[in-house]
């Protein structure tokens, strides 16, 4: 489903660096392209890209983007590929480069616009990257931990969907596949249950040895109780103060 969305997206930004190979994914995105493809080779020579896209007969290659030839680039339904937008910005200047990109984006004859941005050639929080991220529909960046994984940011209306996909080649169908990477959710550790012994500075609980000692303890009166002969005897003490008067005398009963 993600690959279908990437192929149908009108404006795609592919962010790579010197250690990543974007060719398999780029070729797959252009696999079913029926319209004319205008490929602007700022970064690599035309001969290299012509060899890579030799199976496509509908590709026109250009060394640079000539602003005066804009109408020629868009005279018929076309897809525009720019490698790389870094070099295009250096060649035209960022303001002019941004104007051309916006014109291409709004042109009805441009069915798809794919920009390749080399992240390793720009500074952190670059304005170039910030502007492009705001304009495009899809951002494809490569994972720092695995060269086979890509991070996809898809804008759909007011929603932004972010997924991580693993690139693999399906031998049976001879096509590239994107498989969602399912991350294991980290379970939060349950708080330690409070025990009565942890709430007091003195000992509350009784261990097993103390329980055994308590059970084996025999008090003097226990033998009489077990024999069924227990009785209670009370002898008044000599110092006891007995009041012979009725304690309830003042009550009218």
**Residue 184 is encoded by which pair of tokens?**
């294991």
Considering the domain architecture, whether residues 136 and 173 belong to the same structural domain is answered as yes
Determine which of 136-150, 165-179, 223-237 has the lowest per-residue pLDDT on average.
223-237
Phi first, then psi: what are they for 156, rounded to 5°? -135, 100
| 190 Cα distance to chain centroid | 23
Considering the domain architecture, whether residues 33 and 112 belong to the same structural domain is answered as yes
Higher-confidence residue: 247 or 106? 106
What is the SS3 assignment for 177-191?
A: EEEECCCCCCCCCCC
Closest CA to 135 of 119, 117, 109: 117
Whether a cis peptide bond, with omega within 30° of 0, leads into 84 is yes
Range of the domain at 33: 2-180
Considering the domain architecture, whether residues 46 and 170 belong to the same structural domain is answered as yes
Confidence band for 140, pLDDT divided at 50, 70 and 90 = very high
Considering the domain architecture, whether residues 78 and 141 belong to the same structural domain is answered as yes
Considering the domain architecture, whether residues 210 and 155 belong to the same structural domain is answered as no
Considering the domain architecture, whether residues 139 and 44 belong to the same structural domain is answered as yes
Considering the domain architecture, whether residues 97 and 35 belong to the same structural domain is answered as yes
Closest CA to 18 of 184, 131, 142, 196: 142
Considering the domain architecture, whether residues 131 and 209 belong to the same structural domain is answered as no
* Per-residue pLDDT, 16: 83
Kindly state whether residue 52 falls inside one of the protein's structural domains.
yes
Question: Against a cut of 0.85, is the pTM above it?
Answer: no
Cβ-based burial of 69 (10 A; exposed 0-12, middle 13-18, buried ≥19): exposed
Considering the domain architecture, whether residues 144 and 70 belong to the same structural domain is answered as yes
Closest CA to 165 of 53, 52, 28, 39: 28
Considering the domain architecture, whether residues 156 and 212 belong to the same structural domain is answered as no
Please write the tens of the pLDDT for every residue from 29-88: 888 888 999 999 998 899 999 999 988 889 999 999 999 999 999 999 999 999 989 999
Residue 2 has pLDDT above 90, yes or no: no
Please write the tens of the pLDDT for every residue from 213-246: 877 777 666 665 555 555 666 676 666 666 666 6
* Per-residue pLDDT, 173: 75
- Residues 196-217 have a mean pLDDT of 72
CA distances from 206 to 196, 199, 210, 216 (A): 12, 15, 6, 15
């Amino acid at each position: 489903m993600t690959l279908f969305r990437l192929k149908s997206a009108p404006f795609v930004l592919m962010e790579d660096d010197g250690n990543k190979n974007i060719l398999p994914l780029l070729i797959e995105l252009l696999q079913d392209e029926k319209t004319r493809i205008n490929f602007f080779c700022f970064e690599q020579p035309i001969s290299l890209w012509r060899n890579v896209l030799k199976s496509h007969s509908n590709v026109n290659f250009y060394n640079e983007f000539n602003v005066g030839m804009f109408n020629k680039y868009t005279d018929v339904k076309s897809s525009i590929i720019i490698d790389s937008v870094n070099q295009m910005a250096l060649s035209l200047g960022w303001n002019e480069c941004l104007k051309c990109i916006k014109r291409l984006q709004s042109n009805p004859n441009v069915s798809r616009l794919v920009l390749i941005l080399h992240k390793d050639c720009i500074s952190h929080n670059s304005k170039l990257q910030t502007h492009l991220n705001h304009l495009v529909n899809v951002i494809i960046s490569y994972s720092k931990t695995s060269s086979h994984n890509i991070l996809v940011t898809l804008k759909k209306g007011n929603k932004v969907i972010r997924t991580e996909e693993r690139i693999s080649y399906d031998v049976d169908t001879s096509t590239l596949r994107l498989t969602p990477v399912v991350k294991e959710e980290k379970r939060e550790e349950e708080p330690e249950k409070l025990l009565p012994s942890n709430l007091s500075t003195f000992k509350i609980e009784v261990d097993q040895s103390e329980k055994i000692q308590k059970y084996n303890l025999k008090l003097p009166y226990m033998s009489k109780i077990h024999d069924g002969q227990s009785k209670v005897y009370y002898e008044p003490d000599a110092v006891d103060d007995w009041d012979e008067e009725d304690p309830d005398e003042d009550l009218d009963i």
